[in-house]
Structure formats: structure tokens, C-alpha cells
């Protein structure tokens, strides 16, 4: 196992898969050109059979919850309370959040190494990571002994082996969030009425579904704009601020499929997803709220993603949010965890505190 950077990319020992090509496009580049609210540097851990990216964060990376434990566990919960009209709960939770913030500051939590983190909402992990987890973590910790090592997006439905192996080799687990899993094998047996209506809406819609190439610059710009409206302006600036370059390289590498939904009035919605070992997730999703059909666009967009899952017979991780909407369309809730390796025992206090609060809520 070795570390690959932009300086020794010629020594890459494994096959250049779509995933590897996407990671290579970010090596040696300012990360903020891909995800505007993250700072740090990408590398690859690789051997002859595979590779995985890892991200060395900068202390200035605290705007993106996907690259900052402090943003994830301190600042994002406050924003979620506002979105859910539960701001009245903040005085109750404020002391807890302050305690977590102080713990994370003492842990130097903004200076960590993230394994398998694409800086998006949901990461998908392959069997290669499970098979080599001890070797990868040892390599990273030898090179960055003063930093904690973190793996996000541990889905307890799909990553049980990885989870158990990590815990047996010194990791502590901390609750991250609840995501929603769509399994076509079960959904097709008893399809909900809401999903049937959405699929019918999509089939009867006048919207055209267009798969984008990396040279479709105007369309990629439209996708980036709609994503920003959906996740940054409507929800939170702490969400990953994906750029046009991220979308372009994701398509160019073949790692992502990106689609535009449009009619005669122009683009109305956008979707981008990737697949790892028969599991897909869609970190890119956007709506043009100025379009006359924007009210039905979200239903059409999620129906299209459901259609992909059903047609290809692969499971879909719908990520978090819009809980009841997803449950009504056949998704089931699954706990998602993060794994942390650190010599700083305060991380155990942090993990224990978060897990206790999560159980109480």
C-alpha cells in the first residue's frame, strides 16, 4: 500500500477505473475549485488491486459539514432546527452544542484525515476498503500521526463488515444521521401509491430527460446553479458547495451520470448520481424554482431516480432529509455512522456524548 499524489501519479499501481480517474483529477488541485467551501488536499492510498481517495483537511475547512466535524455536529443542527420550525428547542440544546464544540476544539477536529470522503453528502464504500481497512488506516496514521483519521457514511445496512472490522482495530463510532434506503427487490412487490403516482407523473410528463456529457458547458452551468438554489440557498451554506468543475470532472471520468430535466421553457431540474457495487446515491440534485413546473419537478426527479433503481435492480441510498416523503415512496430509515481513530481520548467523550443525545432524540 502506498500514497499517491500528483507528484508520483506515474507510480499508481492499480487500474485506472472511473472512480480513480475522478480522484486523480483532484490531486494537486485547490480543493475549493471542486467544492467551494472545503480546504485541504486529496491523495490516494493504493495497491495493485485498488485505490481509495483520502482528504487531508485544512483548519479553514469548517464551512462544509462533509469535511468538518464541527460544522456537522455543532452548526448544522442549529440550522436544521430553524428549517423544522423548532428554534424554540435551541436554548435546550445550546449547552450540549457548546460542550461538543469545546470537545472538538480540544481534539483539533478541523485537522483530520478523511478516508473515502468525496466531500459530498453521502459516500459509498466498496469491498476493497473493507478488505484493506487495517493497512490503509495504518498507512495514513503513520504519515499523519498528529491527526485523527475519519471514515464517514458508514451505512449499517451495507457496511456491517467494515464497521465491525474497524471497531476491532481501535475505531470509535459516532452517530452521524439517518438516511433512507430504497431496495427495488422489496419495493416492486408492494409499490406504494405515492411512488406509483410519481412514476405515472414522470411517464406522462412533457419533460425531456437528457444525459449530459462533459462538454455540455451551458447545461453543466445550469446544473450547478440549480444545485446551489436547492441545497445552498434554500437549506444551508454548510452543505457541500459543488462547483461546475466538480460536475465536469465527475462526468468526464465516467464516475457520475448527470441528467437534466427540461421542457420548452428550459431546464427545470437536475440530477447526478454514482454507483459503487450495486448501490447508487445522488449527491447532485437541483430545482429551478423560477420555472413554471418547479412544483412537480422534485417528484419527477425522485421518480426518475426510483426508475433507475428499479430498471437496473440496484439499491438506492436516498441520503437524509424529506423523511416522510421518502418513507411514503418505499424507503426505509437506516442509521449512518462515522468511524474515528485517534490517540486523543477526548474523541471517545465526543462520540459517547453524541451517541447518548442521538438515543435520547
CA distances from 189 to 77, 183, 214, 315, 326 (A): 37, 11, 37, 15, 17
pLDDT (average), residues 56-76: 88
* Residue for grid cell 446544473: 223
pLDDT of 139 reads: 98
Model pLDDT for residues 217-262, shown as the tens digit of each residue: 999 999 999 999 999 999 999 999 999 999 999 999 999 999 999 9
pLDDT of 143 reads: 97
Helix 244-253 × helix 217-227 angle, to 10°:
120
pLDDT of 61 reads: 52
> For the whole model, what pTM was predicted?
0.95
Model pLDDT for residues 4-56, shown as the tens digit of each residue: 999 999 999 999 999 999 999 999 999 999 999 999 999 999 999 999 999 99
Model pLDDT for residues 122-175, shown as the tens digit of each residue: 999 999 999 999 999 999 999 999 999 999 999 999 999 999 999 999 999 999
pLDDT of 274 reads: 98
Of the chain, the end-to-end C-alpha distance in Å amounts to 41
Q: Average pLDDT of the chain?
A: 94
Q: Would you place residue 361 in the very low, low, confident or very high pLDDT band (cuts 50, 70, 90)?
A: low
Torsion angle, alpha carbons of 283, 288, 292, 293, to 10: 0
Q: Would you place residue 62 in the very low, low, confident or very high pLDDT band (cuts 50, 70, 90)?
A: low
Q: Which of 53-62, 68-77, 126-135 has the lowest mean pLDDT?
A: 53-62
* Residue for grid cell 485505490: 51
3-state helix, strand, coil in the chain (%, to 5): 45, 25, 30
Alpha-carbon gap, residue 257 to 124, rounded angstroms = 15
Alpha-carbon gap, residue 205 to 86, rounded angstroms = 36
The pLDDT > 70 percentage for the chain reads: 99
CA distances from 238 to 69, 147, 285 (A): 11, 23, 16
Alpha helical stretches, state H, the chain:
18-26, 69-70, 76-83, 90-106, 127-131, 133-143, 160-168, 184-187, 193-204, 217-227, 244-253, 294-312, 323-327, 346-360
* Surface-to-core class of residue 142, CB atoms within 10 Å of its CB (0-12 exposed, 13-18 middle, 19+ buried): exposed
Tell which wins on pLDDT, 276 or 93. Answer: 276
Contact present, 303 and 201 (Cβ < 8 Å): yes
Q: Would you place residue 293 in the very low, low, confident or very high pLDDT band (cuts 50, 70, 90)?
A: confident
Least Cα distance to 173 among 189, 190, 159 occurs for 159
Amino acid at each position: 500500500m502506498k500514497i499517491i499524489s500528483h507528484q508520483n501519479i506515474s507510480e499508481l499501481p492499480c487500474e485506472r477505473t472511473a472512480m480513480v480517474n475522478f480522484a486523480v483529477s483532484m490531486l494537486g488541485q485547490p480543493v475549493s475549485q471542486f467544492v467551494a467551501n472545503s480546504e485541504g488536499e486529496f491523495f490516494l492510498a493504493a495497491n495493485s488491486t485498488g485505490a481509495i481517495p483520502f482528504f487531508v483537511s485544512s483548519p479553514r475547512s469548517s464551512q462544509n459539514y462533509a469535511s468538518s466535524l464541527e460544522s456537522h455536529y455543532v452548526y448544522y443542527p442549529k440550522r436544521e432546527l430553524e428549517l423544522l420550525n423548532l428554534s424554540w428547542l435551541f436554548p435546550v440544546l445550546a449547552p450540549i452544542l457548546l460542550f461538543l464544540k469545546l470537545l472538538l476544539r480540544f481534539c483539533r477536529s478541523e485537522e483530520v484525515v478523511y478516508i473515502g470522503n468525496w466531500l459530498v453528502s453521502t459516500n459509498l464504500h466498496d469491498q476493497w476498503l473493507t478488505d484493506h481497512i487495517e493497512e490503509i488506516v495504518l498507512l495514513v496514521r503513520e504519515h499523519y500521526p498528529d491527526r485523527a483519521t475519519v471514515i464517514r457514511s458508514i451505512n449499517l445496512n451495507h457496511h456491517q463488515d467494515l464497521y465491525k472490522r474497524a471497531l476491532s482495530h481501535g475505531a470509535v463510532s459516532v452517530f452521524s444521521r439517518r438516511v433512507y434506503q430504497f431496495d427495488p427487490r422489496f419495493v416492486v412487490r408492494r409499490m406504494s401509491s405515492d411512488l406509483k403516482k410519481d412514476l405515472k407523473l414522470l411517464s406522462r410528463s412533457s419533460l425531456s430527460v437528457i444525459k449530459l456529457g462533459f462538454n455540455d458547458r451551458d447545461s453543466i452551468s445550469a446544473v450547478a446553479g440549480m444545485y446551489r438554489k436547492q441545497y445552498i440557498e434554500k437549506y444551508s451554506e454548510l452543505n457541500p458547495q459543488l462547483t461546475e468543475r466538480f460536475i465536469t470532472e465527475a462526468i468526464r471520468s465516467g464516475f457520475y451520470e448527470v441528467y437534466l430535466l427540461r421542457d420548452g421553457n428550459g431546464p427545470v431540474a437536475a440530477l447526478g448520481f454514482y454507483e459503487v457495487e450495486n448501490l447508487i446515491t445522488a449527491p447532485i440534485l437541483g430545482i429551478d424554482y423560477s420555472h413554471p413546473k418547479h412544483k412537480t419537478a422534485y417528484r419527477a426527479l425522485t421518480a426518475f431516480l426510483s426508475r433507475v433503481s428499479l430498471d437496473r435492480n440496484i439499491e438506492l441510498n436516498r441520503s437524509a432529509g424529506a423523511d416522510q416523503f421518502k418513507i411514503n415512496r418505499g424507503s426505509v430509515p437506516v442509521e449512518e455512522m462515522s468511524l474515528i481513530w485517534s490517540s486523543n481520548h477526548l474523541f471517545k467523550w465526543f462520540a459517547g456524548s453524541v451517541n447518548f443525545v442521538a438515543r435520547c432524540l
